[in-house]
Amino acid sequence: MPVTIDIRDSLFNPDDIKEVFSYLCYIDDTFSTYKKDSEISKVNQGLINIKDCGEDMKKILMLCEKTKLDTNGYFDIRGNGKLDPSGLVKGFAIRQAAKILKRKGYSNFYLDIGSDIQLCGRKEKGTKWRVGIKNPFSQTEIVKVLELEDMGIATSGTYIRGSHIYNPLTGRKANEIASITVIARDVYDADRFATAAFAMGRDGINFLEDRRNLEAYMIVDGRQAFSTSGFKKYILQT
Amino acid sequence: MKQYLRITAVLLVFGLLILLRNLADNSGNKHRIINQSKASFPSGNNTSSSNNTITAPTAPQTNQAYKDGTYTGSVEDAYYGSVQVQAVIAGGKIKTVSFLQYPNDNGTSRYISSQVMPILVSEALKSQSAQVDIVTGASQTSAAFQRSLQEALKNAS
């Protein structure tokens, strides 16, 4: 997964970046469900008990439970009897990595991991960061340009669509959303709420509208998009 | 969900009533297309007095067909903000009713409007071109999907 760290402060020490990367590697080694010997994989294989796990695992699982409550059960890490906290770990890790950089004295930077982003400060004096939202149907096209500072942004989505599967409860297409982008005070909130809202389908945008400090942009199909009422203040006026 | 739909339905009817009252008020030339959407109105900031209660209009005659066109209702002050609706008449019948204005200023009205509006801000998806520093999107999944598809097609050929 591509990781980009862009620091605009005048002073810069490469060792600080090394520390951030080693933290991210530790997170990946602990929580990656793709690594057979990660702590989460060992839990899922029944090799270790949750109560014998490290503090970070306990914390992440606790945050997953909290998020499940925050999202009316839509954020659920239990599937096929296995735990998969990846819908929250990435945002958590980016936020922690940003905290490391802040502790080192940096104040104007962004951290981008797989297009979930924590923005801190500004690009230059008086210039906010410009973040583009990609069109999920056209890899090279940007559908919205946002101006942000000191915020987190994350997108949840899929390209695999077009099947005529309907949700029997709602009567709507089960796979009705192409992507949903969430802006929050930090990337941890942006990531977990984007994950949950995506699972809600079209109702996700209404759920986010009701939450304070969250704004969102939802792309339904190749023609239509919806946004929360406070979203437009972040759009670059061109 | 049912309750949500009911609230939406009630508010749609509410909006329609406002519109129909407007049409009825202009009965002298009721087929005139009313366009007030550009006019400026106080926003949903409700520190000003908002004693206006919206009364239901007298029921319009149901056997009367409307003239085709797009009709914009006046801005009405619901107690939590302004509401304005637009109706499109086609074939003498109301085809669609949409909200041009709805309250979205403060926390309370924002909460209410989210219940009122099944669709918050809807727009046609189009590109915006400007220099950006970073992009966000469902890139990982879609890139992986495209790669996978490419491989599949390669195998299929």
Among A1, A124, A203, A206, the residue to mutate for chain B (most B Cβ within 10 A) = A206
Tell me the Ramachandran region of residue B153: left when phi exceeds 0, alpha when psi lies from -120 to 50, beta otherwise: alpha
Question: DSSP string covering A78-147, please?
Answer: EETTEE-THHHHHHHHHHHHHHHHHHTT--SEEEEETTEEEEES-SBTTB-EEEEEEETTEEEEEEEEEE
pLDDT at B17 over 70: no
Whether residues B134 and A110 touch (CB distance < 8 A) is answered with yes
What per-residue confidence (pLDDT) applies to B101? 58
Percent of chain B topping pLDDT 70: 14
pLDDT confidence bin for A186, thresholds 50/70/90: very high
pLDDT at A194 over 70: yes
pLDDT confidence bin for B23, thresholds 50/70/90: very low
Rounded to a whole number of angstroms, the distance from the CA of B16 to the nearest CA of chain A is: 22
Cβ(A56)–Cβ(A63) under 8 Å?
no
Whether residues A159 and B120 touch (CB distance < 8 A) is answered with no
What per-residue confidence (pLDDT) applies to A170? 53
Longest dimension (CA), chain B: 72
What sign results for the dihedral spanned by CA atoms A115, A120, A124, A126? positive
Among A155, A182, A198, the residue to mutate for chain B (most B Cβ within 10 A) = A155
What per-residue confidence (pLDDT) applies to B106? 42
Helix (H), strand (E) at residue B22: helix B2-25
CA dist A148 and A141 (Å) reads 20
pLDDT at B51 over 70: no
Whether residues B136 and A132 touch (CB distance < 8 A) is answered with yes
pLDDT at A177 over 60: yes
A134 touches chain B (CB under 8 A): yes
What per-residue confidence (pLDDT) applies to B130? 79
Higher pLDDT among residues B38 and A160, named by residue: A160
Query: What confidence tens digit (pLDDT) does each residue in A92-107 have?
Result: 999 999 999 999 999 9
Among A90, A109, A159, A167, the residue to mutate for chain B (most B Cβ within 10 A) = A159
pLDDT confidence bin for B108, thresholds 50/70/90: very low
A22 touches chain B (CB under 8 A): no
Cα B120 to Cα A202, B58, B87, B151: the distances in Å are 11, 30, 17, 40
pLDDT at B134 over 50: yes
CA dist A191 and A193 (Å) reads 6
B55 touches chain A (CB under 8 A): no
Closest partner residue to B137 among A115, A209, A210, by Cβ?
A: A115
Whether residues A231 and B121 touch (CB distance < 8 A) is answered with yes
Q: Which of A158-162, B17-21, B44-48, B58-62 has the lowest mean pLDDT?
A: B44-48
CA dist A230 and A179 (Å) reads 18
What per-residue confidence (pLDDT) applies to A75? 87
What per-residue confidence (pLDDT) applies to A140? 78
Whether residues A206 and B120 touch (CB distance < 8 A) is answered with yes
CA A162 from chain center: how many Å?
25
What residue in A sits closest to B135 (Cα-Cα)?
A: A132
Average pLDDT over residues A54-80: 91
Whether residues A130 and B134 touch (CB distance < 8 A) is answered with yes
CA dist B100 and B82 (Å) reads 10
Which chain B residues are closer than 8 Å to A219 by Cβ?
125
3 state SS of A223: coil
Whether residues A206 and B138 touch (CB distance < 8 A) is answered with no
Question: DSSP string covering B73-138, please?
Answer: PPPEEETTEEEEEEEEEETTEEEEEEEEE---SSHHHHHHHHHH-SSSEEEE--------SEEESS
A227 touches chain B (CB under 8 A): yes
Closest partner residue to A155 among B119, B133, B137, by Cβ?
A: B137
Whether residues B114 and A225 touch (CB distance < 8 A) is answered with no
pLDDT at A166 over 50: no
Contacts by residues A61-66 (CB-CB < 8 Å, ≥ 24 positions apart): A61/A85, A63/A88, A63/A92, A63/A192, A64/A88
Higher pLDDT among residues A182 and A84, named by residue: A182
- Averaged pLDDT of chain A: 88
Which chain B residues are closer than 8 Å to A4 by Cβ?
134
Query: Highest mean pLDDT: which of A171-175, A224-228, B77-81?
Result: A224-228
Closest partner residue to A181 among B133, B136, B145, by Cβ?
A: B136
